[in-house]
Amino acid sequence: MAGGSAIRGSRVGAGPMGEAERGEAAPRVWVSYWCAAGHETRPSFAEEAAVLPPETWDCPRCGLPAGQDRENPPSAPKNEPYKTHLAYVKERRSDTEGAELLEEALAALRERRGTVS
């Protein structure tokens, strides 16, 4: 037995939302952006005199940065590989400095061991 209202999922007073209830839509401007893969995307922005659209936009198809110049799109960012802590230490210290620090630390440990036992 089917019962209930024929209009399900609505409430009293619900109706189509139109421009009368929402207000006037802001004037829009569409800007073309091209990525290095040749994809074009055209996001729209509110048209305001003092505000310029961004110079770059992320391509929704490949994720590369896209620019407004079709002939000269921005290049892909360079991803540097993950560096370990040891790689950062080796950038700051030479092998001889590392050996000196190791000797100092070992001497301090030996001295402590001698006084504790």
Q: How far is CA 20 from CA 17, 23, 25, 27, 52, in A?
A: 8, 6, 10, 16, 29
35 annotated binding-site participant? yes
Helix (H) or strand (E) holding 63: none
Name the pairing type of β-strands 33-35 and 40-41.
antiparallel
Q: Which residues contact 42 (CB under 8 A, 6 or more apart)?
A: 30, 31, 32, 33
Are 72 and 80 spatial neighbours (Cβ–Cβ below 8 Å)?
no
Annotated ligand binding at 59? The verdict is: yes
Numbered residues of the known binding site for Zn(2+): 35, 39, 59, 62
What residues are designated binding site?
35, 39, 59, 62
